[in-house]
Amino acid sequence: MSPALRLKQGPAATRVLGLGSAQPERIVTNDDLSKIMETTDQWIRDRVGIIERRFADKDESLPDMAVTAGVRALADAGLEPGDVDTVIVPNCTMPSPIPNAAAQVADRLGITAAGAFDLNAACAGFCYGLAVASDLIRSGSSGRVLVIGAEKLTDVVDPVDRSNAIIFADGAGAAVVGPAEEPGIGPVAWGSAGDLVDTIYMREHKYIYQEGQAVFRWATTQIAPIALRALELAGLEPADVDVLVPHQANLRIVEAIAKRLRAKGAREDMVVADDIKYSGNTSSASIPLALDHMRAEGRAKRGDVVLAVGSGAGLSYAGQVIICP
């Protein structure tokens, strides 16, 4: 008879210990874009709700932004690099899959011999990464995990394509995940819809293409049910939510999700993230970036119940409850 495995027992619960974010210094307004393509400030505001966004310089890389966000998250958690043993970098815009971003980021942060890997679930990437981090800790495989959603979308967007260049931007958002006495990260409600592969994809392996109306219809009808499923898995009701942080894809989508949740019982005073106005769509970075900004503004407070949800046209989608650190 084979000997029984003696598995290490991890903690029963996890939580986010600290947050951090980073954006490029360069601010690009709608008026700036109108100088290089046929568009106007009002047209962009009406269509997607964006006023300005941040573009990285050519020599500013995805790992650069991830490192800055990671440093700030570690400081916020009151931890040193040596306190972390795993780094996960959700992203879909590394210029090459080898080497991955996570190993580079871990090394630059001084996290030695770290478990390090990238995760590509596009706009749902942060929730995917947070779920994996939580389960790694609860299983005993990791002690503390640094999750950094980071994107340099300007590398993969045609700069004169007004359907996409007005939306996407660059940035990073990080969270340190560790053990807790009480649950601070709920189970993830996730999935994928491979039948929608033609709605968002890389055209000729160079630029992002998306079928805007199809994406809009899917997001405005399907994201709210995912959010409700995340609440159900966490044993909560819509009325328990203090802060809603949908992936910052389009202000009309954000508002539609909030409206549907309020119709299901969410409070009228539920705070809704609208970071898209000034940060643009930063894919896997958008949820932690928005939450970090909201906390700095006092719109999200320690102990608040945060409902995060994101998707990229349904190819990968996820919802999760987080207790704000």
Just list the catalytic residues: 123, 247, 281
- What is the distance between the alpha carbons of residues 295 and 76, in angstroms, rounded to a whole number? 12
The β-bridge partners of 189 are 319
The dihedral built from the CA positions of residue 244, 247, 248 and 253, taken in this order, carries a sign that is negative
Contacts of 203 (CB under 8 A, 6+ apart): 209
- What is the distance between the alpha carbons of residues 284 and 100, in angstroms, rounded to a whole number? 16
Going by C-alpha positions, the residue among 62, 85, 52, 55 that lies closest to residue 178 is 85
SS3 171: strand
- What is the distance between the alpha carbons of residues 16 and 116, in angstroms, rounded to a whole number? 19
What DSSP line would sit under 240-270, residue for residue? G-SEEEE--S-HHHHHHHHHHHHHTT--TT-
Find out whether 166 and 33 touch, Cβ atoms under 8 Å: yes
Find out whether 315 and 122 touch, Cβ atoms under 8 Å: yes
Q: Tell the residue number behind the tokens 């210990």, with chain if given.
A: 17
Two tokens, residue 282? 């930063």
Find out whether 61 and 148 touch, Cβ atoms under 8 Å: no
- What is the distance between the alpha carbons of residues 3 and 191, in angstroms, rounded to a whole number? 36
Query: Which amino acid does the sequence have at 4?
Result: A
